[in-house]
Chain A
Amino acid sequence: MILNIPFSDIVFYFVAVFMVLLSIAAVSSKNVLRSAIFLIASFLGTAILYLLLKAEFMAMAQIMLYVGGVVVFIIFAILLTSHLGENKLSTPISQKFLAVFLALTLLGVMAKFLFNTKELSESITQKSPEASSLIAYGERLLSYAPNGFVLPFEIISILLFMTLVVAITIAKKDNKEEK
């Protein structure tokens, strides 16, 4: 364990720098397809971070749902809508400065409250290995106990179904009107 801590720290800082740089690249890239690729790499970095935080199931869900689902949605949307070589939408430089100012102000305010909170720097409870196992998640998700999550689970399933119907309806509606 003592040998383990510095190595995981090094990996954490490396992944953190990597993620910040890739997110900046994803946000500021002119080509939308390229920024989707940067987004994939940033999400993979997040999955490594979840592995470091001993949430293996979250890392799997991150890779399967974000990289395999959400980014594929985005790439589909790009391929369906943009002509290649279009992406030349430039923002005025004043708006960029204003955005940097607002974002940095928000970061400053959040950091001010963060550094004033003393309890954050010490970590008290360490996770037991069983807490993040797949069995623990499954039992918690489907238990009827007061601390179980079966009701949100059902609501999420209904929401997913509704989303499918709504997405098909919205995407199809214009087609009828044109005819």
Chain B
Amino acid sequence: MTLLHCLILAFILFTIGIFGVLTNRHLIGMLISIEIMLNAANINFVAFAYFKAQDPTAGTLFSIFSIAITACEMAVALAILIAMYRKHHSLDVNTQEINHE
């Protein structure tokens, strides 16, 4: 287990997340893909803090801040989802414009 292996794992997870964002039509599916991408970024922070950092505490604290911001983002995303569902009765991102008229 070296830094390189951790970075490769994080990159693969990030790629999977991008694939999910590009292919999913369901809004919640896209959110799940974004979660996977953010998780990959956190793995990067922690791996660099473990293997390379002069100051490992600060390196790990950054990912704690990133987790807190993720929680904020998910709360707002849930609110937007519910508001959108009330208006359109669907979470399909492709048909939103048609329903809007």
Contacts and interface: CB of A to CB of B under 8 A. Distances in A.
Contact of A107 (B15, B22, B29, B78): B15
Interface in B24-73: 24-26, 28-29, 31-33, 35-36, 39, 42-43, 46-47, 49-58, 60-61, 63-65, 67-72
Given A57-B60, A74-B32, A114-B11, A103 B75 contact: no
Contacts, number: 236
A120 B3 contact: yes
Interface string A39-83: 100110010011011110110011001100110011011101110
A1 interface: no
B98 interface: no
Contacts of A19: 9, 13
B60 to A, nearest CB: 5
Contacts of A99: 18-19, 22-23
B9 to A, nearest CB: 5
Contacts of B25: 89-91
Interface residues of A, number: 89
B52 A125 contact: yes
Contact of A16 (B5, B24, B33, B63): B5
Given A32-B28, A61-B67, A74 B74 contact: yes
Interface in B57-101: 57-58, 60-61, 63-65, 67-72, 74-83, 85-87, 91-92, 94
Given A42-B36, A171-B82, A23 B56 contact: no
B31 A58 contact: no
B30 to A, nearest CB: 10
A96 B19 CA distance: 8
Which 3 pairs of residues, A with B, have the shortest CB-CB distance?
Answer: A27-B20, A99-B22, A167-B79
Interface of B: 1-9, 11-20, 22-26, 28-29, 31-33, 35-36, 39, 42-43, 46-47, 49-58, 60-61, 63-65, 67-72, 74-83, 85-87, 91-92, 94
Given A82-B28, A91-B23, A107-B15, 10 more contacts: A12-B5, A23-B13, A27-B36, A53-B6, A58-B46, A65-B68, A90-B25, A137-B64, A147-B55, A163-B72
